[in-house]
Amino acid sequence: MREPVYLDYNATAPARPEVIAAVTEAMALPGNPSSVHTAGRQARRAVEDARAQVARMVGTIAPNVVFTSGATEANNIALRGWDRPMRVLTSSVEHPSVIEALEAERIPVTSTGLLDLDALRALLEKPNDRQALVSVMLVNNETGVIQPMAEIIALAREYDAVLHCDAVQAAGKLPLDFDESGLDLLSLSGHKIGGPKGIGALVVNPKHHIRSLIHGGGQEKGRRSGTENVAGCVGFGVAAEIALEEIEKQSHYKDLRDRLETAVSKALPQVVVIGDGAERVGTVTCLALPGVGSETQVMAMDLAGIAISAGSACSSGKVKRSQVVSAMGYGDEIAGSSIRVSLGWATTEADIDRFVEAYVAFAGRQVAATG
């Protein structure tokens, strides 16, 4: 049996060895960070050092970083943690933790997955008693498409809208400068950058008062109650520090991704590369093999020892038509046959070649069986 190949970094990146070491050490800290004794103060120091590391990754100061249980919670606080009703507008390709968080107006995207800026302007033009809260992700989790965030921010400013950005899939891939950007809120997740699962952060511009959705002891300055996940924070901090260096490796990932796309497209001209033509990060490709269901493809690759995913595969093992691909205007044939191959810090050229070999062989068998 050959070594398994892991190409599902957008679902979760394997924890980095440095993270595992730091988390293990932090687990031994006995204190509660809210306790005033020495043990408590040691735990507090660990959390605050981690907060500074996460803040550095996104170009802000530590007090603006609120630790949460992950980006799902961060997105929910960003959209629902207001003391007044907001008029929420989100793109049609957001992660379910935004789409499902509350009822919102949808901003359409173009066929390459870019936000339709004219549609956003038209929506913002409509008079409304409530202040607009616009939520748009920086990098799409399925396609890697990068949204024109500077233009979106400028537009939001024109209409006095609050702007939230889910930057989960952008961290460690694009430089982020929260303080300079003009963003109001930004969500992050530890496990997408080689940190632990179950830890994330909401970065909040201090001019906004965000309320916790979880009530209790008033930790995180009242913005997120519950004893801090000390080891999780520490691991996230270490991962954030390494992620800053990762940004320079983007061209290496792009080379690997292009190697994959070129080889697959050459062997299988019927394959559609979703989001091709838009600016994309180099760590993911979304491929559609018309006529072959996503689930069949994922299972076939799994049998070949290769982990990939279909659609927005964060959900409980369920594979369905990709909402993201549908929102880009593709019909069911493409949206129901799309897969996501995502790479990261431990991916090698050999992993890419293993995928290409297995995928092309599988597609050939499908064609032979149906043709």
Greatest Cα pair distance, the chain, in angstroms, is 73
Q: What is d(CA 286, CA 28) in angstroms, rounded to the nearest whole number?
A: 41
Given CA atoms 204, 206, 207, 212 in this order, what sign does their dihedral have?
A: positive
Is 97 or 322 the residue whose CB approaches ligand PMP more closely? 97
Q: What character string, x for contact with ligand PMP (CB under 6 A) and - otherwise, covers 15-54?
A: ----------------------------------------
Hey, which residues are catalytic here?
Answer: 314
Interface with ligand PMP, residue 79, by CB under 6 A:
no
Per CB under 6 A, the segment of 29-37, 67-75, 220-228, 318-326 that binds ligand PMP is 67-75
Q: How far apart are CA 178 and CA 180, in angstroms?
A: 6
CA distance 80 to 371: 51
* HSE-CB of 317 using CA atoms within 13 angstroms: 1
| Count of positions (residues) in the chain | 371
Binding of ligand PMP by 173 (CB under 6 A): no
Tell me the torsion sign for CA atoms 172, 173, 179, 183: negative
Query: Given candidates 52, 117, 314, 367, which one binds ligand PMP under the rule CB under 6 A?
Result: 314
322 binds ligand PMP (CB under 6 A): no
* Interface with ligand PMP, residue 344, by CB under 6 A: no
Question: Given the rule CB under 6 A, which of 17-25, 69-77, 245-253, 274-282 is the region that contacts ligand PMP?
Answer: 69-77
Look-up of token digits 């394959």: 271
C-alpha–C-alpha distance, residues 225 and 66, integer Å = 10
92 belongs to the binding site for ligand PMP (CB under 6 A): no
Q: Which of 92, 169, 285, 323 binds ligand PMP (CB under 6 A)?
A: 169
72 in contact with ligand PMP (CB under 6 A): yes
Smallest distance from ligand PMP to CB 185, Å: 13
Which value, in Å, is the radius of gyration of the alpha carbons in the chain? 21
Pick the stretch among 65-73, 106-114, 210-218, 253-261 that binds ligand PMP (CB under 6 A): 65-73
Which residues inside 184-203 make contact with ligand PMP, applying CB under 6 A? Answer: 189, 200
Which of 306, 299, 294 is closest to 342 using CA atoms? 306
Under rule CB under 6 A, residue 136 binds ligand PMP: no
| Closest-approach residue to ligand PMP (CB) | 70
Binding of ligand PMP by 213 (CB under 6 A) = no
| Smaller CB separation from ligand PMP, 92 or 141 | 141
Contact flag: residue 309 with ligand PMP (CB under 6 A): no
**Minimum gap (Å) between residue 26 Cβ and ligand PMP:** 19
Q: Does 115 bind ligand PMP (CB under 6 A)?
A: no
Note whether 168 binds ligand PMP by CB under 6 A: yes
Our CB check for ligand PMP shows the closer of 70 and 336 to be 70
Give the residue, chosen from 71, 99, 176, 240, that forms a contact with ligand PMP under the rule CB under 6 A: 71
Distances (CA, A) of 36 to 31, 48, 51: 9, 15, 19
User: Long-range contacts made by residues 332-337, C-beta under 8 angstroms, separation at least 24?
Assistant: 333/290, 333/291, 334/272, 334/274, 334/288, 334/290, 335/288, 336/293, 336/294, 337/288, 337/289, 337/290, 337/291, 337/292, 337/293, 337/294, 337/297
Q: What 3-state DSSP class applies to 275?
A: coil
Q: Does 97 bind ligand PMP (CB under 6 A)?
A: yes
Scanning 28-36, 85-93, 166-174, 262-270 for contacts with ligand PMP by CB under 6 A, the matching segment is: 166-174
Report whether 153 contacts 163 (CB < 8 A).
yes
Return the bridge partners of 200, or none. 68, 189
Q: Which of 6, 50, 66, 70 binds ligand PMP (CB under 6 A)?
A: 70
Give residues in contact with ligand PMP (CB under 6 A). 70-72, 75, 95, 97, 137, 141, 166, 168-169, 189, 200, 314
